[in-house]
Amino acid sequence: MQTTSPSSWLWRGIAITLFTLLTLLLSTPHSNSHTPALAQAQPPEFTPTPRNRIFFWKVTYSTLAPDGVTRPVILVNEKYPGPKIEVNRGDYVTVIVENALDVPTSFHWHGMTMRGDPWYDGVPGMNQCPIPPGTNFTYAFGTDDVVGTHWWHAHFENQYIDGLVGAIIIRDPPATNPFLRAYDEERNVILTDWYHQATGPLLQTYMSPASNGHEPVPNSGLINGKGTFDCKNVIPADLPCNQTTDRAVFHVLPNRRYRLRIINTAAAASFLFSIDGHQLLVIEADGTDLNPFMVDSLPINTGQRYSVIVVTNQEIANYWMRAEIGMDCLPKGNHNLDPIVLGEVRYAGAGVATPTSVGRWVPKPPVKGQLPEENPAFVAACQDLDLFALHPLKAVPILEPITNNYDIKVSFKRNPEDNIMRAYLNDITFAGDAWNPTIVQNLNENAKYTVAEHVMRLDRRDAVVQIILDTSGGTEHPFHLHGHTFQVIAQGEGVYEEGKTPINSINPLRRDTATVPKNGFTVIRFKVDNPGVWSLHCHIEWHVTTGLVMQFLELPDELRAMGIPKHVGKLCETPAPAGFKAHTGFMPAAAAKPAVAAFVNGTTTTFNH
C-alpha cells in the first residue's frame, strides 16, 4: 500500500508549526489600555460544574427580504439565521421546540455525535418521527465528546432551505484550548445560497420528469443573513424587490487577531472564502483542531465548517469579505445569479465608506442573459483543501485493520416507475417512512427492512468501517455522516485502487463532512462504537430529496437495550398529515397563506446538572 512518507510529513509539520508560531508572535498586538473594546455578545461563563443550557424555540412562518427580494420563510424565534446555541464542552443542551406550523418539522444537530442520545439526532424515518404541528417536543443531548464549530438545521423535507438554520459553538475549557492565546476575539460567519421562491414550488418542478434531474440554482448568496441583489434581474419580474446595499459588516480593531468560525449552511453552493489583503490561518475543520495552515482563500462546501485566524495588520481601511459561489459546481442555466457575495470588514478609524479593495481576481461586469465569468481559482474550489496538508493537532493513528468495507457508487438515472431523475447509491434510491423510523423498528429483534430503506447493519463493537465513495462519471458531492467524526483516508480524481492509490496514513484528517470530487473518490473510516441509526448522505439538500441517502444501524442489540424515551415514541402516535407524499412540496389542503408572525424572544436558562 502506498502511503505518505513519515519523514516528509514530519518536516512539513515542523515547518508549518514554526511558521505559525512566528506569524502569531509577530502579529501579537502591543498592549494598549486606551484601545476601546467593541461590544459583542459574551460566551457562557466557564464553570467547574457542567450546566444544563435550556433554549426555548418557536417555529413559525414569516416573510423576509435578506437581499431585497421578499419571500415566505420558516424561522425559529423570528430570526434568520436562527438562534445560536453556544455552550461549554461538557454542558448539557436542552432545546424545547414549539412547532407553530401547520406541517411537521424536526431538527438535526450537525456535528453532534449524540453519543448516548441517538433518538435526538433529528432524522425522521431513522431516529424519530416528525414533530406534529401545534405540539411541543424537547431535544436533550450532551457535549462531552465534541468541541468547536457546528450548526443546526431542520431535517424534515427541505425546510432548512426556507430559513431553519443556525450556529452551534461548543467551547473548549481554557485548560484544554490549544488556541486560547492565539486570537483576541472571534466572529461567526454563516454562508448560504438563497432562493427567491419557497422550497415547495421549487420541489414540485425539481421532482418532475421535466427537470431532467437539474436541481434548482440559487438566485443569490448571503453572509450572516444579508446580501444584495439587482432588482432589474428578478425572475419572475413581478416578485417584490427593494434595492438594498445592506451587507454583513464586521467591525475590527487594528492589530488584533480574530478567529472567524465559518459555516456553510447552503442547500447546494460551494464557496471560495477570502478577505482582500489578508491571509487566513486555518486552525479547525468540522470541530477538529488542526496544525495551523496558511491560505489565501478557503474552499468550503455545504455542511462544512472551518475556523481561521485573521490578523488585522493592514492599512486602516475597509476591505471586502468575499464568498464566491462556485458556478462550476452548479447546474448551468441561471443567468441572474451574481456569484460574488460580499461582506465588509471595517477597521476602526476607517469610517463607513464602501470598500475599494480589489480581490485576487476581478471579473468582467455581468451581462444580463449570459452566465457570469467565473474565478479561475474555483476550478479546484469544488474540492476540499489539500488532504495531505491538513492534520489534526491531536494525533490519532489510522484506524485499522478494516473489518467492514463498502464500495459506494453514486449515480443518477430515471426511475422507471415515475420517469423522474433520481439519485442512487449502489443502484438504491432511498425511500424511508418518516412515521416508521428504523430506531423504532429495531425494537423488534426480527425486524426486516425494505431495500429502499438502505439499512446497513454494524453488529460488531470496535469494528473498523471503510467507505469508498465513488463519483466516477459524475459531479462533486459533499457527504456527511451522522453520529461520527470519520478519518479521511484518501481523496482524488479517477478510481480508488486499494494498495495503489496514495493514502493519508499518518494522523489523517478527522471531520464529519467531506467532498467527493467530480469524477473521483473519497475514502473514509470510522470505528463502530456509538449505538444508533446514523445517516450517510450528500449534503446538497436537493440530492437528499432524490435519494442520495443510506443508513447505518449501529450495534442494534445495544441500541435495543437502551430503549426509547416515552416522549420520543409518542411522536409516532400522530399519523402523517392527510394527503402527505414525501418530497413533493407538500402543503396541507387547508394551509393558510403564511403571515408574518409575532417576534418571540428566545431565552437561555442555566442551572446545575
State the residue for C-alpha cell 461582506.
343
**Average pLDDT over the chain, rounded to an integer:** 87
Per-residue pLDDT reduced to its tens digit, 302-361? 999 999 999 999 999 999 999 999 888 888 766 688 888 999 999 999 999 999 998 876
Per-residue pLDDT reduced to its tens digit, 21-53? 434 433 433 333 333 333 344 667 777 789 999
Cell of 45: 461563563
Cell of 412: 443518477
Cell of 548: 442520495
Q: Which helix (H) or strand (E) holds 584?
A: none
Give the architecture-level CATH label for domain 52-360+380-389. Sandwich (2.60)
Q: Which helix (H) or strand (E) holds 24?
A: helix 6-27
Q: Are 153 and 228 in contact (CB under 8 A)?
A: no
Biggest CA-to-CA distance, the chain: 71
Q: Calculate the alpha carbon distances from 292 to 181, 188, 512 in Å.
A: 14, 19, 19
Q: Are 305 and 150 in contact (CB under 8 A)?
A: yes
pLDDT for res 333: 63
pLDDT for res 372: 64
pLDDT at 608 > cutoff 80: no
Per-residue pLDDT reduced to its tens digit, 92-127? 999 999 999 999 999 999 999 999 999 999 999 999
CATH number of the 404-572 domain: 2.60.40.420
**Alpha-carbon gap, residue 462 to 600, rounded angstroms:** 45
pLDDT for res 145: 93
pLDDT at 605 > cutoff 70: no
Strand, helix or coil for residue 315: coil
pLDDT at 498 > cutoff 90: yes
Q: How confident is the model at residue 595 (pLDDT cuts 50, 70, 90)?
A: very low
**Alpha-carbon gap, residue 271 to 176, rounded angstroms:** 31
Mean pLDDT throughout 149-176? 95
pLDDT for res 374: 65
Q: Are 597 and 61 in contact (CB under 8 A)?
A: yes
pLDDT for res 236: 84
| Half-sphere exposure of residue 511: CA atoms within 13 angstroms, side-chain side | 33
Give percent of the chain with pLDDT exceeding 70.
85
Label residues 183-212 b or e (16+ Cβ within 10 Å = b). Answer: bbebbbbbbbbbbbbbbbebbeebbeeebe
**DSSP for 458-505?**
E-STT-EEEEEEE-TTS--EEEEETT--EEEEEEEES---TTTS-B--
Closest alpha carbon to 96 in 524, 591, 567, 599: 567
Domain ranges for the chain = 52-360+380-389, 404-572
pLDDT for res 603: 31
Q: Calculate the alpha carbon distances from 177 to 13, 88, 89, 186, 188 in Å.
A: 20, 11, 11, 14, 18
Comparing 605 with 493, the larger pLDDT belongs to 493
Closest alpha carbon to 287 in 413, 433, 171, 158: 171
Mean pLDDT throughout 71-91? 97
Label residues 122-131 b or e (16+ Cβ within 10 Å = b). Answer: bbbbbbbbbb
pLDDT for res 446: 96
Cell of 278: 489578508
Amino acid present at 405: N
Cell of 514: 467531506
Q: What is the DSSP letter of 544?
A: H
Closest alpha carbon to 418 in 429, 407, 427: 429
Q: How confident is the model at residue 12 (pLDDT cuts 50, 70, 90)?
A: very low
**Alpha-carbon gap, residue 75 to 97, rounded angstroms:** 12
Q: Calculate the alpha carbon distances from 389 to 2, 11, 495, 591 in Å.
A: 17, 12, 21, 52
pLDDT for res 375: 67
Closest alpha carbon to 263 in 123, 115, 84, 73: 84
Give percent of the chain with pLDDT exceeding 90.
75
pTM: 0.89
Phi and psi at 440, nearest 5°, equal -80, -45
Cα–chain center distance at 435: 25
Cα–chain center distance at 50: 27
pLDDT for res 329: 84
Per-residue pLDDT reduced to its tens digit, 531-544? 999 999 999 999 99
Q: How confident is the model at residue 602 (pLDDT cuts 50, 70, 90)?
A: very low
pLDDT for res 580: 80
Cell of 432: 424511508
Per-residue pLDDT reduced to its tens digit, 352-379? 999 999 887 666 776 766 666 666 666 6
Closest alpha carbon to 191 in 221, 228, 154: 221
- Report the relative pairing of strands 92-99 and 51-64 from DSSP bridges: parallel
Per-residue pLDDT reduced to its tens digit, 449-475? 999 999 999 999 999 999 999 998 788
Residues whose CB falls within 8 Å of the CB of residue 439, separated by 6 or more in sequence, listed in order: 118, 119, 126, 127, 128, 532, 533, 559, 564
How would you class 376 by CB atoms within 10 Å of its CB: exposed for 0-12, middle for 13-18, buried for 19 or more?
exposed
**Alpha-carbon gap, residue 3 to 388, rounded angstroms:** 11
pLDDT for res 380: 55
Mean pLDDT throughout 152-175? 95
Residues whose CB falls within 8 Å of the CB of residue 294, separated by 6 or more in sequence, listed in order: 19, 20, 23, 279, 280, 281, 282
Comparing 5 with 348, the larger pLDDT belongs to 348
**Alpha-carbon gap, residue 55 to 96, rounded angstroms:** 6
Residues whose CB falls within 8 Å of the CB of residue 176, separated by 6 or more in sequence, listed in order: none
